[in-house]
Amino acid sequence: MNCESESSFLGKESYAALQNSSSPRSVKSTGRTQYHLNPQASYKVAILGAAGGIGQPLALLVKINLYDIANVKGVAADLSHCNTPAQVSDFTGPSELADCLKGVNVVVIPAGVPRKPGMTRDDLFNINASIVKTLVEAVADNCPEAFIHVISNPVNSTVPIAAEVLKQKGVYDPKKLFGVTTLDVVRANTFVAQKKNLRLIDVDVPVIGGHAGITILPLLSKTKPSVCFTDEEIHELTVRIQNAGTEVVEAKAGAGSATLSMAYAAARFVESSLRALDGDGDVYECAYVQSDVADLPFFASRIKLGKKGVEALISSDLQGLTEYEQKAVEALKAELKSSIEKGVGFAQKQSVAAA
Ligand X SMILES: NC(=O)C1=CN([C@@H]2O[C@H](COP(=O)(O)OP(=O)(O)OC[C@H]3O[C@@H](n4cnc5c(N)ncnc54)[C@H](O)[C@@H]3O)[C@@H](O)[C@H]2O)C=CC1
Q: Distance (Å, rounded) from C-alpha 222 to C-alpha 219?
A: 6
The answer to the question of whether 2 is labelled as a binding residue is no
Q: Which does 185 bind (CB under 5 to 8 A by kind): ligand X, ligand OAA, none?
A: none
Q: Quote the least distance from Cβ 124 to ligand OAA, whole Å.
A: 8
Which residues contact ligand X (rule: CB under 6 A)? 48-49, 51-55, 67-70, 110-115, 124, 128, 131, 134-135, 151-153, 155, 180, 183, 211, 256-259, 262
339 binds ligand OAA (CB under 6 A): no
Cα 292 versus chain centre, distance: 20
Q: Which residue is nearest to ligand X (CB)?
A: 52
Q: How far is the CB of 348 from ligand OAA (least distance, A)?
A: 25
Please pick, from the candidates 257, 273, 291, 301, the single residue that binds ligand OAA as defined by CB under 6 A: 257
Residue 8 or 246 with smaller CB distance to ligand OAA: 246
Q: How far is the CB of 276 from ligand X (least distance, A)?
A: 20
Question: Smallest distance from the beta carbon of 131 to ligand OAA, in angstroms?
Answer: 15
Determine if 347 is a binding residue for ligand OAA (CB under 6 A): no
Do the annotations mark residue 52 as ligand-binding?
yes
What is the maximum alpha-carbon separation in the chain? 58
How deeply is 335 buried, as exposed, middle or buried, from its count of CB atoms within 10 A (0-12, 13-18, 19+)?
A: middle
Residue 116 or 175: the one with the smaller Cβ distance to ligand OAA is: 116
- How many of the other CB atoms lie within 10 Å of CB of 18? 17
Long-range Cβ contacts of 244-247 (<8 Å, 24+ apart): 244/184, 244/187, 244/191, 245/115, 245/121, 245/183
Alpha-carbon distance values, 137 to 50, 98, 101, 166 (Å): 18, 10, 11, 7
Of 58, 64, 12, the closest CA to residue 36 belongs to 12
Interface with ligand OAA, residue 55, by CB under 6 A: no
Q: Are strands 147-150 and 177-179 parallel, antiparallel or unpaired?
A: parallel
Catalytic site residue from 36, 81, 149, 211: 211
121 is in an annotated binding site: yes
Q: How far is CA 76 from CA 113, 151, 183, 223, 305, in A?
A: 21, 21, 25, 39, 30
Is residue 36 annotated as a catalytic residue, yes or no?
no
Q: Does 301 bind ligand OAA (CB under 6 A)?
A: no
Please tell me the distance from the alpha carbon of residue 3 to that of residue 135, in angstroms, as a whole number: 20
Active site residues per annotation: 211
Enumerate the known binding-site residues: 49-55, 68, 115, 121, 128, 151-153, 187, 262
